[in-house]
Amino acid sequence: MGAPIRTGRLVLRAARPGDEGWILAEIARPEVHRWLRGVPCPYRPEDAADWVAQSATLPMRRIIERDGAPLGSVSLTGPLGYWLRPGAWGQGIATEAADALVGLHFRQGGGRVRADVHLGNDASARVLAKLGFQETGCDVARSEYWGTPVEIRCFELDPAAWQARPADLAPGSVPL
């Protein structure tokens, strides 16, 4: 598993045994779960345990911590994905965490990054815009929470666009 990534305010670390409880509690919140398309509904203890166990083999899946408190997760194991506890919303945390992980991806020679958000999830779309993502259109994808297809907005980011993002977006990240 990769070393933790430190930003100005955050530590992005590997998931570890013991994370299951808080992950289960936070994803069970409808205001969080409704935006997570591929997450089982209902979200059960075994789902959280599987997620933590699988994370051991996925170096681009990280827990977001601030001052030792877990706030959510960010991953780049396919499209960029992230979620936060409601108490962490509106503080630039998702932007800072996603910027750090995307930066690591590009520094390691990774190519274009994709992301998508549910139609109506304007806060998440703003995170992507701050990172330099460009909207590429809309699509439909199945939501486990809703049990139906939902409309999604699709985005892409290439290394040049990421390099061109505002310099004050997020403090530079460096491995610990």
> What ranges do the domains of the chain cover?
5-170
pLDDT of residue 28: 93
pLDDT of residue 167: 67
Grouped pLDDT means (10 residues each) for the chain, 176 residues: 89 97 96 93 96 93 97 96 96 96 94 96 95 96 94 96 73 39
pLDDT of residue 169: 59
pLDDT of residue 13: 97
Q: Is residue 30 classed exposed, middle or buried when 0-12, 13-18 and 19+ CB atoms within 10 A define those classes?
A: exposed
What three-state secondary structure class fits 93? helix
Write down the CATH number for the domain with range 5-170.
3.40.630.30
